[in-house]
Structure 1
Amino acid sequence: MTTTAPAHPAPFRSPSTSGSRIGSVVRLHFANPMTVVVIPAIVLGGIFLVNLAIWWIILRSVPAEAQADAREGLQWSGATFYLFVYMLIVAVQAMNATFAFAQGFGATRRDYYLGTSLVFVVLSLGWSVAFTVMGLLETATGGWGLGGRMFTAIYFTENPLSRLLIVFLAFLFFFFIGAAIATVFVRWRGTGLTLFLVGAAVVLVGIAALVTLGDGWPAVGAWFAAAGPTGVALWSLVITLLAAVAGFLNLRRATTRD
């Protein structure tokens, strides 16, 4: 038999403090490191090995006089983008898997969301540090001996500290976009999520159409060029914060389901 939790459950009566409940939520998310650490590391390692193979094939297939041009082309890489997108999926899976469990053990929605947000911040910091360390190794080895750039691609800047900030903010962006999507599913289930994704696609396509009809793409490109990678990353905080607030507001009215 399927049961539905009341819209306004009884308050948590445990003597534990809000801080301890937030800590319990953090431990709950890290109870299965396979999801938030191991699998993302495997994904990143797989992407890295594939890139090494591609770089080697490219350099072996071009004549000696074209090596310089080939290595110049290897400065651009979007390979790490897949890791950021995967973190969005991690956020969706983590919240969907733990929300009902945390509610069953008395965590309030506020404590759960704060604990989950803290997990996302910690993961973003940890992954950005790992990313930056790999970038330093990439620079020290001359692009892993092949002149390739995956962790130091041109849009991550040459400065390691700036790269750390950019990557940290990028991870936050994808984690909290994923959190907002997860709360839509938790509150409205599959139907609500489908409508949300369709609506988001319509809005994005509409914006692209308006920019195209208004010949605005040169202005968009000029803005990105003027802002630079660090500026764009800082501006992404606006969307990150909006997604975080939207996720919290959604979760406040969500009910657990078996």
Structure 2
Amino acid sequence: MNHILKVTKLHFNKPMVMFGVPSFIILIVLVVTALISFMLQRAGLDPSSPDYADGARWNQGMIWSLPGFLIYYGVQAVATTYPFALALGATRRAHVLGTAVANLVLSLYVSLFMLLLLGIELATNHWFFSVYALDIYMLGAGNPLVLFVTTFLLTFVSTSIGGMFGAVWVRFGSKGPTFVALGLALILVVLMLIFVPQFESIIAAVTRPLLAGVGLGVAVLALIATWWVMRRATVR
């Protein structure tokens, strides 16, 4: 347990990267959303109209702005701390678990930060100018619990997937992640070809708890794959 916590603390050595960059991305998306809202209102859209609110809540900027960085962060979190973790006496298993704990802390931070912004958004009647950045359908349309769980899982799944690719890079070199990505893409395409006739019924059956379960399952599989790959990884 001590080695796991040492690895976790190792990830906190760069707080501006771990916590600062996600916060900056979220705030940038908020500003961009506000600018777009102002332009739409200047173009003649009525912010008091129910149709305006309905359309604005389909904004997905907050959802798609974070995974790219989070996956990158997950890659470097594994790849850059691995030699230092071993130098501290941590086992490969402790390194994977310690990294997972650090990712959980990051997920909690991102979720709480976005929850705080949602509270401000609702309290100020959408930033005083009908700006819908967090009160959106994909984050629960103002439901704090849905927003918290969604952003928590989104962050943890993204960093876990990134960690898996980081482990593949450590084990197999620069070509490893490319082959893994191609393999996963091929599997995804095959699955889509198999299930495309049932797409409508599948989409109709999708619920938030189901998506949460799938996301959690993906994160667990990514962590297992990370540990399996790292078992024989050498220090680069």
TM-score by length of 2: 0.91
The corresponding residue for 2:235 is 256
Whether the 8 Å CA contact 2:29–2:61 is kept in 1: the answer is: yes
Q: Secondary structure of 1:216's match?
A: helix
**AA at the equivalent of 2:28:** G
**Cα displacement string for residues 129-173 of structure 1 (whole angstroms, at most 9, x for unaligned residues):** 111111111111222123232222112224312321222122221
Q: 1:141 aligns with which of 115, 124, 146?
A: 124
Whether the 8 Å CA contact 2:23–2:110 is kept in 1: the answer is: no
Identical counterparts, % of pairs: 28
Which of structures 1 and 2 has the bigger CA Rg?
1
Q: Secondary structure of 1:131's match?
A: helix
Distance 1:146 1:66, change over 3 A: closer
Q: Which runs of 5+ in 2 are unaligned?
A: none
Distance 1:113 1:69, change over 3 A: same
Q: Size of the alignment, in residue pairs?
A: 234
The corresponding residue for 1:206 is 190
CA distance in 1, matches of 2:47, 2:65: 33
1:73 aligns to 2:52 (yes or no): no
The corresponding residue for 2:93 is 110
The corresponding residue for 1:245 is 224
Whether the 8 Å CA contact 1:166–1:230 is kept in 2: the answer is: no
Whether the 8 Å CA contact 2:76–2:163 is kept in 1: the answer is: no
**What displacement does 1:36 show?**
0.7
1:193 aligns to 2:177 (yes or no): yes
**AA at the equivalent of 2:183:** G
**What displacement does 1:255 show?**
0.9
**Cα displacement string for residues 154-200 of structure 1 (whole angstroms, at most 9, x for unaligned residues):** 12224312321222122221121111111111111111111111111
**AA at the equivalent of 2:145:** L
**Cα displacement string for residues 90-134 of structure 1 (whole angstroms, at most 9, x for unaligned residues):** 111111111122223322111111111110111111111111111
The corresponding residue for 1:37 is 19
Task: After superposing the two structures, state which structure 1 stretch, 88-97 or 69-78, moved more.
Answer: 69-78
Q: 2:162 aligns with which of 153, 174, 178?
A: 178
**AA at the equivalent of 2:204:** A
Q: Secondary structure of 1:149's match?
A: coil
Distance 1:132 1:65, change over 3 A: closer
Distance 1:246 1:161, change over 3 A: same
What is the RMSD of the two structures over their aligned residues, measured on CA atoms? 1.9
CA distance in 2, matches of 1:164, 1:20: 29
Q: 1:159 aligns with which of 123, 139, 143?
A: 143
- 4+ runs deviating over 6 angstroms: none
The corresponding residue for 1:25 is 7
1:128 aligns to 2:107 (yes or no): no
Distance 1:23 1:69, change over 3 A: same
Q: Which runs of 5+ in 1 are unaligned?
A: 1-18
**AA at the equivalent of 2:95:** Y
CA distance in 2, matches of 1:234, 1:152: 23
Q: Secondary structure of 1:117's match?
A: helix
CA distance in 2, matches of 1:191, 1:253: 17
Task: After superposing the two structures, state which structure 1 stretch, 120-129 or 139-148, moved more.
Answer: 139-148
